[in-house]
């Protein structure tokens, strides 16, 4: 029997308050200025699910939203982008997380989180949702809701028992202390893991991306993709190494670029591309995202990504 979904994304849905061009010099005793301020849908679960849906996958999300204005905003955004919402849990007693993002002129950013991000949501309790998909994307390994070894164990085992591929993004912990050794058995179930350079350094204790990848491969992860921002990405498995530079675009806001990258990679793999082709497609998705403010503003559909790739030479730096 076929699965209801191609992809289930499990992670957070967050309202991002994005502030560009913040001037630290006060204009009055209680006031500051910025170039622009905007409220945007965000969070790795929302970003990945909406992007994958725009790229053509039957995509759902498993997450919680508060019964508040921010939750209504995010719910409407996902619906408008074609995300299956049957596994969204609305919570009356817990607010939707909101993050304030300060975006620098080069597109890099700093963020402020709060206790709303620490909600004790347990995705492992929704096994039927996990069973409904051919692939599962874990949006925030080492951060809530996957800063709990029991949650990781439950979701990963259910996914594998039902033949689903597991794609896992990682995060730096903001409240929890989960590490590689705590989920060693579960990491061996991961098909592709996608830390950025800072996350890989933190979790492996290494400073060179190749050594970071080796540590992660030694845990049993089958394939490692280290996102290197403006430097592109590094791909490693037991047989292959690729290094791909970034596409040359003017970075406006890097918020969500990594999530767009992962959604693009999953979409490419599920449409039959090999790893090298999927990396090119994913890098294009990340570049398009970074060219606009907000996680879901830049990328529109698969045809846009294909045109972008046709117009830009894939920047492989070494193999």
For residue 295, with 0-12 CB atoms within 10 Å meaning exposed, 13-18 middle and 19 or more buried, which class applies?
Answer: buried
Cα atoms in the 13 Å half-sphere on the side-chain side of 136: 31
| H or E stretch at 285 | helix 275-290
Indicate the average pLDDT of the chain: 92
CA 166, chain centre distance (Å): 13
The whole-number pLDDT of residue 117 equals 65
Taking 80 as the threshold, does the pLDDT of residue 309 lie above it? yes
* Tens digits of residue pLDDT in 244-295: 998 888 888 888 899 999 999 999 999 999 999 999 999 999 999 999 988 8
Residue 317, pLDDT above cutoff 90: no
Q: What per-residue confidence (pLDDT) applies to 118? A: 62
Using the predicted structure, report yes or no on whether residue 316 has a pLDDT greater than 70: no
11, 141 contact by CB (below 8 A): no
- Give me the percent of the chain exceeding a pLDDT of 70: 96
> What is the pLDDT at residue 93?
87
Q: Pick from 102-111, 119-128, 206-215 the range whose average pLDDT is largest.
A: 206-215
Residue with tokens 């039902």: 162
Tokens (6 digits) for 64: 């919680």
- Number of domains comprising the chain: 1
The string of pLDDT tens digits covering residues 54-110 is 999 999 999 999 999 999 999 999 999 999 999 999 989 889 999 898 888 877 778
Question: Is 256 or 304 the better-scoring residue by pLDDT?
Answer: 304
Range of the domain at 152: 5-318
Q: Measure the CA–CA gap between 85 and 146, rounded to whole angstroms.
A: 20
CATH code of residue 258: 3.40.1190.20
**Region 203-226: what's the mean pLDDT?**
97
Q: pLDDT tens digits, residue range 137-188? A: 999 899 888 999 999 999 999 999 999 999 999 999 877 678 999 999 999 9
- pLDDT of res. 12: 92
| pLDDT the model gives residue 260 | 96
Peptide bond into 145 cis (omega under 30): yes
Q: Rounded distance, CA 267 to CA 234, Å?
A: 19
Beta strands in the chain (DSSP E): 5-10, 14-20, 23-28, 31-33, 36-42, 59-66, 88-91, 98-103, 109-112, 133-141, 165-170, 192-194, 223-227, 233-236, 241-244, 316-318
Question: What's the token pair of residue 314?
Answer: 């894939």
| Strand, helix or coil for residue 243 | strand
- Higher local confidence (pLDDT), 254 or 235: 235
For the question of whether the overall pTM of this predicted structure is more than 0.75, the answer is yes
Q: Give the pLDDT of residue 185.
A: 96
Q: Specify the residue for token string 């308050």.
A: 17
């Amino acid at each position: 029997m076929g699965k209801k979904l191609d992809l289930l994304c499990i992670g957070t849905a967050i309202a991002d308050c994005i502030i560009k061009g913040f001037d630290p010099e006060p204009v009055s005793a209680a006031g500051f200025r910025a170039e622009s301020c905007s409220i945007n849908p965000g969070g790795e679960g929302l970003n990945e699910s909406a992007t994958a849906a725009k790229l053509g996958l039957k995509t759902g999300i498993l997450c919680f939203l508060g019964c508040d204005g921010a939750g209504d905003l995010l719910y409407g955004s996902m619906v408008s982008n074609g995300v299956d919402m049957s596994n969204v849990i609305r919570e009356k007693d817990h607010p939707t997380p909101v993050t304030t993002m300060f975006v620098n002129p080069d597109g890099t950013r700093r963020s402020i989180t709060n206790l709303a991000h620490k909600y004790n949501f347990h995705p492992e309790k929704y096994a039927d949702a996990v069973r409904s998909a051919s692939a599962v994307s874990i949006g925030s390994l080492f951060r809530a809701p996957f800063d709990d070894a029991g949650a990781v164990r439950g979701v990963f085992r259910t996914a594998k028992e039902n033949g689903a591929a597991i794609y896992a993004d990682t995060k730096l912990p903001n409240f929890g202390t989960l590490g590689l050794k705590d989920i060693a058995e579960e990491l061996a179930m991961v098909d592709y893991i996608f830390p950025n350079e800072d996350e890989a350094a933190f979790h492996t204790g290494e400073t060179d991306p190749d050594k970071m990848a080796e540590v992660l491969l030694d845990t049993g992860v089958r394939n490692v993709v280290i996102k290197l921002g403006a430097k592109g990405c590094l791909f490693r498995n037991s047989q292959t190494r690729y290094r791909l530079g970034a596409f040359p675009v003017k970075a406006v806001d890097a918020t969500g670029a990594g999530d767009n990258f992962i959604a693009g990679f999953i979409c490419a793999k599920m449409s039959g591309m090999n790893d090298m082709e999927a990396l090119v497609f994913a890098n294009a998705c990340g570049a398009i995202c970074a060219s606009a403010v907000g996680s879901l503003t830049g990328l529109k559909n698969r045809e846009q990504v294909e045109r972008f790739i046709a117009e830009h030479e894939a920047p492989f730096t070494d193999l």
